Amino acid sequence: MLEQIIQAKNVREITKYINRAERCVIVAHTSPDGDAVASSLALKHFLTELGKAVTIVLPDDFPHYYRWLQGSTDILIHKKYPAEAEQIIGEASLIFCLDLNDPRRLGSLAGPVVSSSAVRVLIDHHLDPVPDFCRCVISCPAICSTSEMVFRLICRMGMYEIINLPMAECIYTGMMTDTGVFAYNSSHPDVYTIIGELIKKGIDKDKIYRSVYQVSSEGRLRLMGYLLYEKMKIYPKRQTALLTLTNEEKIRFGHQPGDTEGFANLPLEMDGISFSAFLKEEGECIRLSFRSVGDFPANLFAARFGGGGHRNAAGGTFEGTLPEAIKLFEEVLSVTNPSLFV
Ligand code: MN
């Protein structure tokens, strides 16, 4: 028996909206990660089983190592097909916003989603969701992943039996990727109860691990080596490491979406490093990823850049050049209370 974390009134409300809905759309955040892609697919498979017409629309493309997830090739990418994506959002009667706490995280989809007349439902596990952006807000920061929330929601709706193998694979993928393969953010015993249930549904967890983590390109491994050897900067007094990546370097290493996933965590493997930052040029902006171990609040650090997230994993976007972002990073670091780095 799982702890009842999602409120009963939310379960009633969402059931009502699903029953009434004609056309459903599921959206998630920019640079979609495993949890964003997999929770969207799990929810889509569930709604499809209930006889609903469902389209997943993501702002931009997701990493190739999630293409094996059933249904992923039907995901509509706004950046590639803007007119079609906006038309489908405009025709939706119910829009699920997954794995984000702020409409700005939708990037180019924020406008079409916010101006839509559809009922919006938020399902998310980040802290401090923006109020009033969705009519129904299911926000559970205590839960490891949005994918786990989708599992819990289905169970609370009394539909555990509907969960099939493709849904179970999606749910496990999101839980696995959002916890660094259960290395962090995964101390609630329910996480392992749920994994047990997913195994009963037939998932091959070892195969899922290999499909996501052991499919690197040569370029990704060489880029990793280059960044660690030539680019990593250490701030010993602050127990901090910084990695940076330019657009030119991306081209040089044949960078594909998802190739730098996990890079922000690499410096934390060093003894004595408790905070790690990865600043990456992305088009005209800088994408920021912050990771920490222990009590260092990566989310509060990210807030200085207008971003947010969890205590040990946070991020944001910086409007400016990479040297400007590095300068601001070093300034914020120098005024951060040293006692936090323990
Ligand atoms: Mn997530």
CA distance 34 to 67: 11
- Tell me which DSSP letter residue 121 carries: E
| Residue 76 and residue 196 in one domain | yes
In a domain, 3, yes or no: no
* 162 and 16 in a common domain: yes
Q: State the Cα–Cα distance between residues 140 and 199, nearest whole angstrom.
A: 24
d(Cα 211, Cα 203) in Å, to the nearest integer? 13
Question: What does the pLDDT read at residue 1?
Answer: 83
Residue 342's pLDDT is what? Answer: 61
Domain that holds residue 223: 218-341
21-42 average pLDDT score: 96
Does 2 reside within a domain?
no
Is residue 108 situated within a structural domain? yes
Is the pLDDT reported for residue 341 higher than 90? no
Question: 35 CA to middle of ligand 1, Å?
Answer: 5
0.75 exceeded by the pTM? yes
Question: Residue 338: pLDDT above 80?
Answer: no
Domain presence at residue 20? yes
> Does the residue 65 lie in any domain?
yes
Report CA(9)–ligand 1 centroid distance (Å): 23
Asked whether residue 35 falls in the same domain as residue 163, the answer is yes
Kindly give the distance from the C-alpha atom of residue 236 to the centroid of ligand 1, in angstroms, as a whole number. Answer: 31
> What spacing in Å lies between the alpha carbon of 313 and ligand 1's midpoint?
10
Question: Which residues lie closer than 8 Å to 115 by C-beta, 6 or more apart?
Answer: none
Do 269 and 205 share a structural domain? no
Rounded CA-CA distance 256/336 in Å is 34
Among 212, 228, 262, residue at a domain's last position: 212
pLDDT attached to residue 127: 86
How far, in Å, from the CA of 146 to the mean position of ligand 1? 5
User: Do 43 and 92 share a domain, yes or no?
Assistant: yes
Identify whether residues 192 and 223 lie together within a single domain. Answer: no
Residue 145 lies in a domain: yes
Report the alpha-carbon distance of residue 97 to residue 145 in Å, rounded.
14
**Phi-psi sector, 31: left (phi>0), alpha (psi -120 to 50), beta:** left
Can you tell me whether residue 37 is helix, strand or coil?
helix
Single residue among 178, 212, 246 that ends a domain in this structure: 212
Q: What is the mean pLDDT of residues 133-145?
A: 95
Averaged pLDDT, 304-322: 91
The total number of structural domains in the chain stands at 2
- 226 within some domain: yes
Same domain, 176 and 41: yes
Residues 180 and 307 in one domain: no
258, two tokens: 């998802």
| 324: CATH | 3.10.310.30
Instruction: Answer with the one of 183, 212, 241 that is the final residue of a domain.
Output: 212
- On average, the pLDDT of the chain sits at 95
Domain co-membership, 145 together with 243: no
Question: Is there a domain that residue 1 lies in?
Answer: no
pLDDT tens track for 233-290: 999 999 999 999 999 999 999 998 889 989 999 999 999 999 999 999 998 999 999 9
Considering the domain architecture, whether residues 108 and 239 belong to the same structural domain is answered as no
Ligand 1 centroid from CA 39, angstroms: 8
Query: 58-61 long-range contacts, Cβ below 8 Å, gap at least 24?
Result: 58/27, 58/28, 58/32, 58/109, 59/27, 59/29, 59/30, 59/32, 59/106, 59/107, 59/108, 59/109, 60/30, 60/31, 60/32, 60/107, 60/108, 60/257, 61/32, 61/257
**What is the CA(186)–ligand 1 centre distance, in A?**
12
99 Cα to the center of ligand 1, angstroms: 5
- Regarding whether 229 and 93 lie in a shared domain, the answer is no
Q: What spacing in Å lies between the alpha carbon of 245 and ligand 1's midpoint?
A: 24
**Ion ligand 1 — residues with CB under 5 Å?**
35, 99, 145-146, 178
pLDDT band at 128 (very low <50, low <70, confident <90, very high): confident
Q: What percent of the chain clears pLDDT 70, i.e. is strictly above it?
A: 100
Same domain, 269 and 185: no
Ligand 1 centroid to residue 109 C-alpha, Å: 18
Task: Give me ligand 1 centre to Cα 223, in Å.
Answer: 25
CATH number at residue 184: 3.90.1640.10
